[in-house]
Structure 1
């Protein structure tokens, strides 16, 4: 029976049993999408990353939730990067481009302990909407200060400082329209928000995506990459720290790089390392992006 190296990383945290869990599977050939989808459904993480090194020694990466493929995932990219480093396939201190459906994503691992992973993600653009849908306001129990759509497909709601974000009990089944595909609820950091690497955080958010098969994603790199530029402009800073007070908490540092891109940095905890035994992956080069510069 075919066996593939696999591991599970808890991303954007140095604490065991916190952060956002992601499976990582190392392939020897480009697998078919239905097989990868079935593996992701069995692993039951919010996302599972699949890595394949093509004949030109370029690494390609795809991400699957338990129910669908997604075009971008920050925490599973961090997990994939730590996986390559753990397997001896990526040297510390060197930058490596990963080819994805969102373009070439540069990643790097530091030489420290625990190693710090940096990844450059597209940030998209927040597009102001006149107001939040009435049904969303009812679910939140308060009116957002601002509400945006985005090219990534996520909607973003900014709440007042006193809004009880950490205690929000979102009825994800009642989310409607585009909010179901990805809803970021954010606010400025509170006095009770934990620090990150000894420094205070600047903002906090939670992320809900029942339309992607994830009621709540614990620590979401793509969501932070989307909203970090707004907080940088709002706070007049090029480096900020974001926190996610979910049931599995964690956070990350965001830095401005080139227009339209944000560098996220965070740590991860290796929870398990082993093999999966799942025959029938097939051989399908379709859908595996060619690496391009971001």
Structure 2
């Protein structure tokens, strides 16, 4: 079967977030999909049934677990298949449209609610202004983008938290960037995710309310880095990004 490596949320190779994409003729065994994802070692590998009529079944696996929502691997899958796509997932049907070299993904918004949780030693050097929790992740708002960029987190402390992952964010520090973020999910086998589409389902409602605008641009300030355009529309978020195919080949096992 065909397999691809795609760098998502970037317009150049070896940047953004790499995702594996495996094209299936029929639904596959979960244990096998998990083994493939562990072999590839990307933060997520997507498995899509291309022969399905209508919405195509799509699932995502980290090296150690299945996840219910993943933005960059959805973008990678839409990029590989081309054109407009609808994917049937554990988070409902996700619609993707392609135009002008960008893929736009219609995702459910995941607004956060303030929680009385202190990150403690997990984020050394970060002055915490706000802590909230969405469906999946903890959201921590830092005082400055510099604190986000320079952060060296305590991954063991984050791993012990009862969440999928932790997003740390702050206002943007350069023209054209409304906010910066980084995302850590060591309990799911992803110490730091280069660019996290699903985290922006929580980032978008927070920053839209704070900045008073529904269309924003986020920079995920990981070492690889990436740009995510977001647009909040009620209980939905449009995430837009570019993608580059790095290689393709045949999966034999």
User: Which of the five TM-score ranges fits, normalised by the shorter chain?
Assistant: over 0.9
Residue 55 to residue 218, structure 1, CA distance change in 2 (3 Å) = closer
Which of 102, 111, 114 in structure 2 is aligned with 1:125? 111
Larger Cα Rg: Structure 1 or Structure 2? Answer: 1
State the SS of the aligned residue for 2:128.
coil
Contact 2:110-2:205 at 8 Å conserved across structures: no
Question: Any gaps of 5 or more consecutive residues in structure 2?
Answer: none
The answer as to 2:252 corresponding to 1:271 is: no
Q: Flag structure 1 segments of 5+ consecutive residues without an equivalent.
A: 86-90, 279-294
Greater fraction strand = 2
Q: Of residues 100, 112, 127 in structure 1, which corresponds to 2:89?
A: 100
Following superposition, the deviation at residue 61 of structure 1 comes to 0.3
Contact 1:180–1:208 (8 Å) recurs in 2: no
Equivalent pairs, count: 253
User: Residues of 1 paired with 2:33 and 2:50: CA distance?
Assistant: 16
5 Å-filtered alignment, 1:56-205, equals 56-85=53-82, 91=83, 95-110=84-99, 112=100, 115-136=101-122, 139-151=123-135, 153-161=136-144, 163-178=146-161, 181-191=164-174, 200-205=176-181
Per-residue Cα deviation, 1:204-235 (whole angstroms, up to 9, x for no partner): 00000001000000000001121111111111
Q: Deviations over 1:78-124 (max 9, x none)?
A: 00001111xxxxx3xxx4321000000010111x3xx2100011121
Counterpart residue number, 2:219: 243
- Counterparts of 2:97 and 2:70, CA distance in 1: 16
> TM-score, normalised on structure 1?
0.82
**Greater mean alpha carbon deviation, residues 217-226 or residues 156-165:** 156-165
User: What is the CA-CA distance between 1:172 and the residue it aligns to?
Assistant: 1.0
Higher RCO (C-alpha 8 Å, min separation 6): 1
TM-score by length of 2: 0.95
2:32 aligned with 1:35: yes
In structure 2, the residue corresponding to 1:98 is in which secondary structure? strand
Q: Distance in 2 between matches of 1:144 and 1:83?
A: 40
Partner of 2:236: 261
- Is contact 2:131-2:140 (8 Å) kept? yes
Name which of structure 1's ranges 204-213 and 159-168 shifts more when overlaid on structure 2. Answer: 159-168
Tell me the CA shift for residue 135 of structure 1.
3.4
Out of 197, 200, 211, the position equivalent to 2:187 is: 211
Over residues 38-71 of structure 1, what are the superposed CA-to-partner deviations in whole Å (9 max), with x where a residue is unaligned?
Answer: 0111111100000004553431100000101000
